[in-house]
Chains A and B, each alone.
Chain A
Amino acid sequence: MLTLGLLIQFNQPMKQKLLVLGFLLSCLTVFSQDYFPKNDGVKTTNNNYTAFTNAKIYVTPTQIIENGTLLIQNGKVVNAGASVSIPQNATVVNLEGKQIYPSFIDIYSGFGIAKPKRASGGGRSAQYNGSREGYYWNDHIMPEAHGVSSFKFDSKKAGELVKAGFGAVNTHLEDGIMRGTSMLVTLNDKDGDETRILDQDAANHLSFRKSVASRQSYPTSIMGGMALIRQVYHDSKWYANGNSDTKDRSLEAVAKNKNLPQIIDAGSAANALRADKIANEFGMNFIIKGGGDEYADIAAIKRTNASFIVPIKFPAAYDVSDPYAASMVELSQMKHWNHAPTNPGVLAKNGVQFALTTADLKSTKDFKSNLMKAIKHGLDETKALEALTTVPARLLGKSNMIGSLNKGSIANFLITSGDIFNKKTTLHENWVQGNKNVINNMNVKDIRGDYDLKIVGNTYSLKLSGELSKLKSEVKKDTVKMASKVTYKDGWLNLFYIPFDEKEERFVRLTAAIGDSDNLSGNGTLASGSLTNWSATKTADKEDDKSGKDGKDGVDGKNGGKGGKGGKAGSTADKDPVLMPLTYPNNAFGFKTNPKAENLLFKNATVWTNEAEGIMESADVLVKNGRIAQVGKDLSDPSAKVIDATGKHLTSGVIDEHSHIAAASINEAGHNNSAEVTIEDVIEANDIGIYRNLSGGVTTIQILHGSANPIGGRSAILKLKWGEDADGLLFKGAPKYIKFALGENVKQSNWNSFSRFPQTRMGVEQVFVDNFTRAREYEAKWKAYNGLSKKAKARAKAPRYDIEMETMVEILNKERFISCHSYVQSEINMLMKVAEQFDFKIQTFTHILEGYKVADKMKEHGVGGSTFSDWWAYKYEVNDAIPYNGAIMHSAGVVTAFNSDDAEMSRRLNQEAAKAIKYGGLSEEEAWKFVTLNPAKLLQIDDKVGSIKVGKHADLVLWSDHPMSIYAKAEKTIIEGVTYFDSARDEQLNKDILKERNMLINMMLKAKNSGMKTQPPKKKVKEDFHCDTVEQF
């Protein structure tokens, strides 16, 4: 040691030297392993036992020893049982009346591993390429990372966690989509890493969030993130089979870690389902970290069969005391506040295996109170304990090590004064690897109670109450209360008060050492400064807690307060929390129970058939089993509910060929080809846009990828079945589509981005030619490979599976169809020529604002046009856009539709159709087809929807007036016989929503008045997407 110190002395300036020396000294004491040389003394070993006797021991949450002994040695459990023989070299701790639990485990943590700094730079000049060599091409894929390599034990945070009852954490580098391995480490601050690191590759971690350390653009969306994860899995398998000519340490790591527990940070119930989808595709099991909103979609969560990690974080009530500010808080936000504490309980009741985590908590201090809240909201106590002990241990495959007090387990355990989830229970000690951490000294004498305080001839009444660690005092002369303060620590009591007759606010200061006696005595200093002795005789033990604190946890704030004398806390005074009903989806205008299909008979309507029958006056339409059963006059069916449609118009549902509602993301802008992404991955079934569309008679939409790149993503075609989950919304049996785009957006003309090909329309063409050429070659390679004999296959290198190219091959093979965003005639012409060169045809041009200039060519190619009725002048390429476009294309024989590309316009496409009458003089019947039958044709679903024809889906709208009249309102919107929108129900819901909001606001006000934490009102902002929206990811 000295030598070391001297060495440093010669080389370092004085001040630094001392610091360094100190550091080394402490390091050396920490890292003293058995086989290390010893230079600071003699070798000492301690193989003594410690026996904890007479305690109630929870070996596991369900295996309980009422009066047992826990025996530990060298940081491990030797035995736990009712009759454990205690060796001679044991120190014995009598825990009579106390309980022992395994310490908690936090399975999801970033403990001791600093997050990387956000990469500098900015502006909009995106970085498209990765920045590493020898790793995967995408910087956000870092499966080769090891949390342990940047681990530094954080004593302060460890202390907080130990105080909250934790003994071990699974910690990883919280950065990137693939994050590499986590380490399992105890919170033992007495020993070093050599002791506390239990496993340095405990689990493999993923997320849907990009690394902050890289500015690589791809992926810009969650759907890109999902596609990327899939591609990595394909690549790693391919790589592991020896097919790659180059080295990729990332792909090697994926293969190496594939048998570890796979933990993915989903962050929300919707993303949890997305994660599960990927896991299923690859035959994997993800342990999914949720977002605390799983309760709202519990059926789907349960179906995943996945294990979950859920944060025990609940939103604070919004401070709604300013009614105007309060009006900005959405019902869904308030309902989440109301329901969030039920989340763990709901998961438990539905048999979902889950662990709890402190991750996402602002302060570890909130852990216990939140846990108690969850229990109060229905979480079974045993399940709670399991979620903190045996479940995380099992999920990590470490049940033999942690999470229980079975023989051989690490000696991580808690000593408490009673049941661990009782509010009044004190956590005394948290032992970690056999090292004691005192949280609340169990040997502190309870001095709470009433006393007669005698001092210089006066007798006052003294009351000591509250928690022992935060004692409160009350000093009174008869009924006059005097200002006072008390501290009680390490066996010493200090009491200050201002005597009632003291004019100058001077204190009397008393002190006493606490002994065995119930009475107190000591000396003190009077207000005048003179010394004196004092004593206090105990007259009464402390009263039962009146649970003044309980009120703070009460949902309605009425609890607590003045409990009757001897009233038991936590029982009668605590009312069950009031919960607003859940709906599907769980926000405004949701259904309490999902509506069912009905047989319906519309009588005496003006029926717009879109068929040879044309517009039928005074006609009837019968709906049975979700299909159109009959169209005609004087129909009857006893099974059907009759709807009098006299004076009203009945049409097939409006179809929007180009929509961007109900999606979590729209553009994957990170590459010029993103054929690997699909909107089906990111459907948002709870988007209010769905309900708003229904209110405008829309029944089917195509959610198109945006126009950020020439080859966009795959679309989703939905039926707007409000209340169904994402899968339930998909249009069954619809063909597959993909979005392409041309022009200014893909050239990135309207913002400062000059680094991505293409920058001109010349380049756009080459992107297509290049990708289709490569797709042909890709297909040929696979064909050749698949044609090999088994033997030859074993010798040959397999081609790489490329999701993007697979999609391109689908297009070439006419299994997937293109809807292409387009503006000017040159580019429209170009894409048709490219398609013809590769022997397929474009299905639809969308936007297609100069379609009228090449309508003859479009007709010849056989492509349809889905355009805006009258949009123009928003950018240079729409300078020649004219509202007559639809009429001209139609006149040239092109199947023409009007679409929205807009969450507002989509709900009144009926009015937009009328513009084809104004601009271009279309007949009413033909104009109406622009938003019904024609988009159905473009989507190739016209055999199912788009007209009122026997056998087709009963997707119908009942209008108050001529459907294209400005005065028309959708009264009922029906999909497959189910009424999803009804204007009478809508009016009622408007009233119900106000009522529900009012109730929740009152609950929040009560919560605030009862002293609960609040947060300022915040308005959720969700952007309405357009083609060119690049969302934050």
Chain B
Amino acid sequence: MKNLYKSLLASIFAVSTVVAQQTPASAQSETITINGATAHIGNGQVIENSVVVFKDGKITYIGTQAQNVGGKMIDAKGKHVYPGFIVPNASLGLSEIDAVRPTRDFDELGELIPHVKAKIAYNAESKVVESMRPNGVLLGQITPRGGTISGTSSVMQFDAWNWEDAVVKADDGIHLNWPSSFTFGRWWLGEDPGAKPDKKYAENVGAIKDFMHQAKAYLKGGQSEKNLPYEAVKGLYDGTQKLFVHAGGKKEIVDAVNFAANEGIKMVLVHGNQAHLVADLLVKNKVPVVLDRSHRNPNMDDEDVRLAYKMAKILIDKDVMVTIGMEGQMERMNTRNIPFYAGTYAAYGVPKEKAVEMITLNAAKVLGIDADYGSLETGKSATLFISEGDALDMRTNIISHAFIQGREVSLETHQTKLWKRYMGKYHGK
């Protein structure tokens, strides 16, 4: 037994001596070739026994022909190479410890605050962020929470000195929490805690429409004084930003899609618990869905106990474009489990490569970074990782190398350091 741990430890330390811990990697200096891995392209395709070459941060070759380009060779026979996983609708780096208020930077005061920007508070040195990399999660859309219009998100990569350094796409989207047509009783005032139709739903929706119409009028010009919130939604009307509407119910989704269509705004649906009931409308309006994690309980006792697991398949079968986001209970620390949410969606009907696509190319498309990220294609950023096996399965998601923009990033974390320290304590080095 003891020997087993010793050999295990030896391998751990062998890896850790190669890579500096948690210091952002410097720019790619030499050409790197990964030989022999099964390459999961990210677009549904697989290349067995592949050759992947990247230089100056860009993929220069992917295929099956041996490449003699010098530089560093990584023998990955029997292993798997994936594009870095991408998480839309994440709030990583905006809070370090949920219960400690001073660390919470994701929810600003105010109802309609598109001018508030997530990138500003993003903590590039977060211990939670660094814990993403050993699971292959390398990029995310950092998103504020709360209010009606929560603010503006940015797409960040997870190996950076500071937020400016981390930005992949600044201010990519505005996040709108669509009002619920249900209201919950306030139990602390002795009300029935159940949900009942909200009589103020139309009024609440109206407030959003008013805001947007006012902004639109303002943006036509002629105003001498600046209005920051109105300025902040400019990208929605000129097509450079997307509106991420967070909505779950059928009614809310239909209202939101119709609203965005009328305004000529590019919309992405976030959550979409009942998106399967209005899939045609989503397809017609080209609205993709950022599904929640598959590891959810049903909303109702009556619901198929595995409905959440099956949701991706149901939507994909109806031709809806699907990716997976991360919002809700313990969302930050659980973001590293994104591959396994995709895996569970695969267990319940999504073909495995489609499941990979959900958290790679589809995510990149939804975030508007697919020209550079999301798949292993020539010319794209060398943001990828090597796994011992199927990266969607906990047993085999064991990452040996990860690259962001060609830079080999550290797979060490606060957590691996503690692991090694205490294994060393009990079993010697």
In angstroms, how far is the closest chain B Cβ from the Cβ of A208?
Answer: 16
Contact A875:B195 (CB < 8 A) given known A891-B426, A966-B346, A997-B302? no
Residues of B close to A964: CB separation below 8 A: 394-395
Judging by beta carbons under 8 Å apart, are A882 and B418 in contact?
yes
Q: A118 vs B190: C-alpha distance in the bound complex, in angstroms? A: 11
B355 closest partner in A (C-beta): A966
Complex Cα distance, B394 from A921, in Å, reads: 11
CA A49 to CA B414, docked complex, whole Å:
96
| Distance of A892 Cα from B5 Cα, bound (Å) | 11
Chain B's closest residue to A1019 (CB) is B195
Decide yes or no whether A275 CB sits under 8 A from chain B.
no
Residue A324 lies at the interface, judged by CB distance under 8 Å to chain B: yes
Task: Tell me, in angstroms, the Cα distance from A325 to B199 when the chains sit together.
Answer: 12
B98: which of A691, A874, A904, A968 is its contact (CB, 8 Å)? A874
Q: Cβ of B306 and Cβ of A332 under 8 Å apart?
A: no
A903 touches B297 (CB 8 A): yes
Is A282 in contact with chain B by the CB < 8 A criterion?
A: no
Q: Say yes or no for B152: interface residue by CB 8 A criterion.
A: no
Within 8 A of A (CB), among B131-147: none
> Does B340 belong to the interface (CB within 8 Å)?
yes
Tell which of A382-390, A665-673, A909-917, A936-944 binds the partner. A909-917
* Residue from B98, B249, B393 in contact with A875 in the complex, judged by beta carbons closer than 8 Å: B98
A870 and B337: CB pair below 8 A?
yes
- Report yes or no: A882 in contact with B394, Cβ–Cβ below 8 A: no
Instruction: Collect the chain A residues with CB atoms within 8 Å of residue B99's CB.
Output: 744, 750, 874-876
CA distance A986 to B348 in the complex (A): 15
- Report yes or no: A888 in contact with B426, Cβ–Cβ below 8 A: yes
1/0 per residue B367-403: CB within 8 Å of A? 0000000000000000000000000111111100000
Q: In this assembly, does B347 line the interface, its C-beta being within 8 Å of a C-beta of chain A?
A: yes
The secondary structure that dominates the A interface is loop
Q: Which of A330, A331, A692, A874 contacts B305 (CB 8 A)?
A: A692
CB-defined contacts of A914 to chain B, threshold 8 Å: 393-395
The answer to whether the Cβ of B332 comes within 8 Å of any Cβ in the partner chain is yes
Interface string of B231-242 (1 = CB under 8 A from A): 000000000000
Residues of the B chain whose Cβ atoms lie less than 8 Å from the Cβ of A917:
394-395
Bits for B402-429, please: 1 = Cβ < 8 Å to A, else 0.
Answer: 0000000000001110110011011100
Q: Which of the candidate stretches B77-85, B179-187, B214-222 sits at the interface with the other chain?
A: B179-187
Nearest chain A residue, comparing its CB with the CB of B194: A1018
B70 contacts chain A at the CB level, 8 A cutoff: no
- Shortest beta-carbon distance, A707 to chain B, in Å? 13
> Pick the contact of B187 from A744, A874, A876, A1032 — CB < 8 Å?
A1032
Whether A1021 pairs with B195 at a CB distance below 8 angstroms is yes
Is there an interface contact between A911 and B187, defined as CB atoms closer than 8 Å? no
User: Is A852 close to B, CB under 8 A?
Assistant: yes
The closest CB in chain B to the CB of A122 belongs to B188
Q: Which of A855, A924, A966 is within 8 Å of B422, CB to CB? A: A855
CB contacts (< 8 Å) of B330 on chain A: these are 871, 873-874
Using an 8 Å CB-CB cutoff, how does the interface string of B291-332 with A read, 1 for contact, 0 for none?
000011110111011100000000000000000000000101
A958-985 contacts to B, CB under 8 A, are: 962, 964-969
Chain B min CB distance to A361 (Å)? 17
Interface size in chain A (residues, C-beta < 8 A):
70
B182 near A1019 with CB under 8 A, answer: yes
A873 touching B98, Cβ below 8 Å: yes
The reply to whether B419 and A328 contact each other, CB–CB distance below 8 Å, is: no
Of residues 212 through 263 on chain B, the ones whose CB sits less than 8 Å from some CB of chain A are: 249-251
User: Contacts of A856 on B, CB cut-off 8 Å?
Assistant: 425-426
Tell whether B96 is near chain A: CB-to-CB under 8 Å.
Answer: yes
Asked if B196 contacts A1018 (CB within 8 A), the reply is yes
A325, A332, A695, A888: which contacts B419 (Cβ < 8 A)?
A888
A872 and B333 in contact, given A888-B423, A918-B394, A967-B346 (Cβ under 8 angstroms): yes
Which of chain A's residues 686-715 have a Cβ closer than 8 Å to chain B? 688, 691-692, 695
- The answer for the CA separation of A324 and B396 in the assembled complex, in Å, is 42
Instruction: Check: B344 CB closer than 8 A to any chain A CB.
Output: yes
* Interface check A884, CB cutoff 8 A: yes
Minimum C-beta distance from B211 to chain A (A): 25
A986 x B194 contact (CB < 8 A)? no
Q: Check if A587 is an interface residue, CB within 8 A of chain B.
A: yes
Q: Is B343 located at the chain interface by the 8 A CB criterion?
A: yes
A425 to chain B minimum Cβ distance, whole angstroms, is 36
Bound Cα distance A695, B298 (Å): 13
B interface with A by C-beta (< 8 Å): 5, 8, 96-100, 127-128, 181-182, 184, 187-188, 190, 192-197, 249-251, 295-298, 300-302, 304-306, 330, 332-333, 336-337, 340, 343-344, 346-348, 392-398, 414-416, 418-419, 422-423, 425-427
- Beyond the given A884-B415, A1032-B188, could you list 19 further A-B residue pairs with CB under 8 A, ordered by the A residue number? A324-B181, A328-B182, A331-B301, A331-B302, A587-B301, A852-B419, A872-B415, A875-B97, A876-B99, A904-B295, A914-B395, A968-B347, A969-B348, A1016-B197, A1018-B196, A1019-B194, A1019-B195, A1021-B184, A1021-B194
User: What are 27 A-B pairs with beta-carbon distances under 8 A?
Assistant: A327-B250, A328-B195, A332-B302, A587-B301, A588-B302, A589-B305, A695-B305, A695-B306, A873-B97, A873-B332, A874-B330, A876-B100, A883-B415, A884-B419, A884-B423, A891-B423, A907-B305, A908-B344, A966-B344, A986-B305, A986-B306, A1018-B195, A1018-B196, A1020-B301, A1021-B184, A1021-B193, A1032-B187
